[in-house]
């Protein structure tokens, strides 16, 4: 910006860098998606084409930003996790949130016709808002991802039961909602099985568990030093940093519908949340 008598206006700008050594989650949510799903007659309780479109847009984000170590999505939301030592956009919350939201929205709209060729997209366009949250510990980050996956299960079980009562059971939406008030998970499972012969555990995993995206490396790191070198940003030289980013960019991106709440997923892939300085990783 050229020096001028008007430059003082920059003093009104606020700086919003997220605290260092914190894992950053950029969470995106669809805006007005209840109206959108009605407008385009999405299948209830789950529209597999809609979920595939959401995942396709998310995949482009993961490809575009090697700093994303894992992403999780369900319904109309996606969470992208940036390593605790990332310096992407100088860790500025507004820059991260707006860039991810804008890119995701653009990809979602551009990819729409591939998934809904029979339903031309019209205004108002789908859009997503974004927010950033910093988590200081790996176990807290894991709890965040567990929370989102638990939310996926609870909501999907309810919606599956609700829409079967309406579509197959002939109930009005008001009556179905009233009949499910105060019911526990076991009771909803019983309703599905006894009335509609549906075993909830046989429902598509993408609906029950959501979708996980992460990078898989051909040669997995085996010790603390290697793990740190793979995912560290701040302690590497510029040359090492570029090599690390190139390796991340070339890694295969896995798209799976698996459990994140238990330990097996993380135990098999310790490099995803590798510590930034080669410590034991226990937090």
User: What is the structure's pLDDT at 279?
Assistant: 41
Could you tell me the sign of the dihedral formed by the alpha carbons of 43, 44, 50, 52, in that order? negative
Distance (Å, whole) CA 187 – CA 180: 9
Residues linked to residue 214 through DSSP beta bridges, in sequence order: 70, 254
CB atoms within 10 A of CB 162: 21
User: What is the structure's pLDDT at 280?
Assistant: 41
For the entire predicted model, the pTM comes to 0.90
CB atoms within 10 A of CB 184: 8
CATH fold label, 15-149+205-273: Alpha-Beta Plaits (3.30.70)
List all residues 6 or more positions away from 82 whose beta carbon is below 8 Å from its beta carbon: 23, 24, 25, 26, 65, 67, 68, 69, 88, 96
Distance (Å, whole) CA 215 – CA 273: 11
User: What is the structure's pLDDT at 275?
Assistant: 77
Distance (Å, whole) CA 55 – CA 47: 13
User: What is the structure's pLDDT at 283?
Assistant: 59
List all residues 6 or more positions away from 129 whose beta carbon is below 8 Å from its beta carbon: 28, 29, 31, 101
Domains of the chain, by residue range, sit at 15-149+205-273
Which candidate, 216, 280, 204, places its Cα nearest to that of 254? 216
User: What is the structure's pLDDT at 155?
Assistant: 98
pLDDT tens over the chain, length 283 residues: 567 899 999 999 888 999 999 999 999 999 999 999 999 999 999 999 999 999 999 999 999 999 999 999 999 999 999 999 999 999 999 999 999 999 999 999 999 999 999 999 999 999 999 999 999 999 999 999 999 999 999 999 999 999 999 999 999 999 999 999 999 999 999 999 999 999 999 999 999 999 999 999 866 554 444 544 554 444 556 666 666 667 777 789 999 999 999 999 999 999 999 875 334 445 5
User: What is the structure's pLDDT at 4?
Assistant: 87
Contact 24, 136 (CB under 8 A): no
Distance (Å, whole) CA 82 – CA 141: 11
Residues linked to residue 228 through DSSP beta bridges, in sequence order: none
């Amino acid at each position: 910006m050229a020096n001028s008598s008007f430059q003082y206006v920059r003093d009104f700008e606020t700086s919003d860098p997220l605290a260092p050594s914190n894992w950053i989650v950029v969470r995106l949510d669809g805006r007005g998606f209840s109206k959108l799903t009605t407008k385009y007659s999405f299948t209830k309780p789950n529209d597999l084409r809609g979920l595939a479109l959401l995942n396709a847009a998310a995949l482009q984000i993961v490809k575009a930003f090697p700093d994303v170590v894992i992403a999780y999505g369900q319904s109309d939301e996606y969470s992208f996790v940036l390593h605790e030592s990332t310096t992407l956009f100088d860790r500025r919350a507004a820059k991260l949130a707006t860039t991810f939201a804008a890119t995701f929205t653009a990809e979602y709209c551009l990819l729409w016709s591939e998934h809904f060729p029979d339903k031309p997209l019209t205004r108002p366009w789908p859009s997503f808002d974004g927010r950033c949250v910093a988590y200081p510990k790996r176990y807290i980050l894991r709890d965040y991802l567990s929370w989102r996956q638990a939310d996926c299960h609870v909501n999907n079980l309810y919606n599956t039961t609700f829409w079967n009562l309406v579509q197959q059971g002939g109930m009005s939406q008001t009556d179905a909602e009233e009949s499910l008030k105060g019911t526990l998970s076991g009771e909803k499972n019983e309703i599905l099985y006894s009335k509609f012969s549906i075993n909830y555990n046989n429902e598509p995993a993408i609906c029950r568990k959501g979708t996980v995206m992460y990078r898989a490396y051909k040669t997995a790191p085996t010790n603390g030093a290697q793990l740190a070198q793979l995912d560290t940003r701040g302690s590497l030289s510029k040359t090492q940093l570029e090599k690390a980013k190139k390796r991340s960019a070339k890694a295969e991106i896995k798209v799976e519908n698996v459990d994140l709440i238990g330990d097996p997923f993380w135990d098999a892939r310790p490099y995803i949340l590798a510590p930034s300085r080669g410590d034991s990783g226990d937090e």
